[in-house]
Amino acid sequence: MTILIIQHFKDMKTTTNLYLSSMAVSDLLIFLCLPFDLYRLWKYVPWLFGEAVCLLYHYVFEGCTSATILHIAALSVERYLAISFPLRTKVLVTKRRVHYIIAALWGFALASSTPTLFLVGVEYDNGTGARGGQCKHTDDAIHSGRLHIMLWVSTGYFLCPMLCLVFLYGSIGLKLWRSRADLRGPGALARERSHRQTVKILVVVVLAFIICWLPYHIGRNLFAQVDDYDTAMLSQNFNMASMVLCYLSASINPVVYNLMSRKYRSAAKRLFLLHRRKWKHCYLRWLTWWLSKNKRE
């Protein structure tokens, strides 16, 4: 819905919404991994989809997670610049440049997730044959220490942008608070309200992302420390709960936009009415054709 709204209506194609649209693509790709996670919960052994799907499923999940973090960070930087240096930002931050930035974010996210391809695979227990394969982190990756290194990198990938976001939104909040007495010009108040509304939405998006993804990173590090049965069971239950939160994060943003943005609600209504008119037009054309055909017969 977010992608369709931003692509259909010219007034919704702002630089902020371009980032949000790209994040929606990332969320959709994350949802492609959901059937495989559900299958692994239902029947962990055997893995029936082959080595390539196992690698791709983990790679897409890791790459899209990284892409979402980078999009949120870039979007927050853009909002900070727009509020702190409005005139300069209006000239420098154009839609074309934002498209280039988004492409660079995706490229970096997918490239930095490449090591995942060397950490997972389909492994077979002795005596089970090809029917007993499991799609998981390989024993070689665990014993060699590569998994621990990747976990630390992934955790840093999450924590560093989050610390950056805390600083940026703290600076934005301080700037908006101080600028209340400096409003001048006929459009100043409208700009101020627009900035505040955008910042509110982004703060909620960031908080939802932190709440939903922090348990996931804690669970991954807990899994790396498993050395007994009790810890293994705790890790398994924790990771199941964190998986639910991960997929919740991938679906919550359109709900946030609807609740907090009147402009988004209006665009969603227009989109619904537009498609309803199209379906009605198609139905009337089909009905006319069907009636004329029966009349001839």
Q: How would you write the pLDDT of the chain (297 residues) with one tens digit per residue? A: 888 888 888 888 888 889 989 999 999 999 889 999 888 888 877 888 888 999 999 999 999 989 988 998 898 888 888 888 888 888 888 899 999 999 999 999 999 889 888 888 888 766 555 556 788 877 777 677 777 777 787 888 788 888 888 888 888 877 777 766 555 555 666 666 776 777 777 788 888 888 888 888 887 777 767 677 777 777 778 888 888 888 888 888 778 877 778 888 888 888 888 767 777 767 677 777 777 777 665
At 169 the pLDDT is 81
Does the residue 2 lie in any domain?
no
Does the residue 4 lie in any domain?
no
Per-position DSSP letters for 167-194, written without gaps between them: HHHHHHHHHHHHGGGG--STTHHHHHHH
At 232 the pLDDT is 72
Domain of 160, CATH number, reads 1.20.1070.10
At 107 the pLDDT is 96
Q: Greatest CA separation found in the chain?
A: 79
Residue 292: count of CB within 10 angstroms of its CB: 10
At 102 the pLDDT is 95
Does the residue 288 lie in any domain?
no
Paired tokens of 2? 């977010």
How many domains, the chain? 1
At 111 the pLDDT is 93
At 148 the pLDDT is 76
Is the bond preceding 46 in cis, omega lying within 30 degrees of 0?
yes
Residue 169: count of CB within 10 angstroms of its CB: 18
Per-position DSSP letters for the chain, written without gaps between them: -HHHHHHH-GGG--HHHHHHHHHHHHHHHHHTTHHHHHHHHH--S---SHHHHHHHHHHHHHHHHHHHHHHHHHHHHHHHHHHHSHHHHHHH--HHHHHHHHHHHHHHHHHHTGGGGGTEEEEE-TTTGGGGEEEEE-HHHHHHTHHHHHHHHHHHHHHHHHHHHHHHHHHHHHHHHHGGGG--STTHHHHHHHHHHHHHHHHHHHHHHHHHHHHHHHHHHHHHT--SHHHHHHHHHHHHHHHHHHHHHHHHHHHHHHHH-HHHHHHHHHHHHHHHHHHHHHHHHHHHHHHHHHHH-
Torsions phi, psi for 265 (to 5 deg): -60, -40
Cα–Cα distance between 137 and 252 in angstroms, integer? 29
The parent domain of residue 41 ranges over 12-179+188-260
Does the residue 276 lie in any domain?
no
Does the residue 152 lie in any domain?
yes
**Angle CA 30–272–198, to nearest 5:** 60
Does the residue 3 lie in any domain?
no
